[in-house]
Amino acid sequence: MNLPESRPGMDRRSFLRTTAGGTAAIAAASLLPAGCSRDYPQAETDGYTLRALTPKEYAVMRATAEALLDGVPVEPALVAQRVDTELAVAGEPMRTDMKTVLRIIQHATPLGGHLRRYTALTPADRLRYLEGWARSRFDLRRAAFQALKGFTHFFAYHDDRTRELTGFEGPWPERFNLPVMPVDYGEVV
């Protein structure tokens, strides 16, 4: 995916416009219902007990992994589970921010020309929708895309099964037989 470079600065007018637009989007996302779990059975189907995300947010994260990780040998469900676990540990404000991004992505599809919710789109349509967010003229949309992409790629590519794709040979203890030696620190005062 070839993305445009970020602008180096922001003048007063664009700051006010971004802040007002971002505030409106976040306010709208906070009013969206969390959704019934029966409408989003992915976590239950995956046999996973949610720790931080709602069933809807988990479904959005899983759908994002399906779209962004085509050809990567890591299951989208595993990526969504790792994100859920990390958000449970990280706590606030990261958890609330990511949950807001997931709700906005799920319900802002009409802005991208789609009449169905994000999780109802095909993986190819989801990818095109996300690419629209990546190229948006609005900082908030680009930032939301970067958050989703960053979480998805981090929790996918740290998996050992991606080593062949990345060329990473593994950490030093796996590559070299380094003996464990006791260290004499001398007299500690």
Burial class (CB in 10 A: 0-12, 13-18, 19+), 130: buried
Over range 168-188, report the average pLDDT. Answer: 84
Burial 16-34 (b: 16+ CB within 10 A, else e): eeeeeebeebbeebeeeee
Nearest to 32 by CA among 117, 111, 132: 117
pLDDT in tens, 16-58: 555 555 556 555 555 555 444 468 888 998 999 999 999 999 9
What's the predicted TM-score (pTM) here? 0.75
pLDDT in tens, 116-160: 999 999 999 999 999 999 999 999 999 999 999 999 999 999 999
Say which range, 15-19, 106-110, 178-182, has the weakest mean pLDDT: 15-19
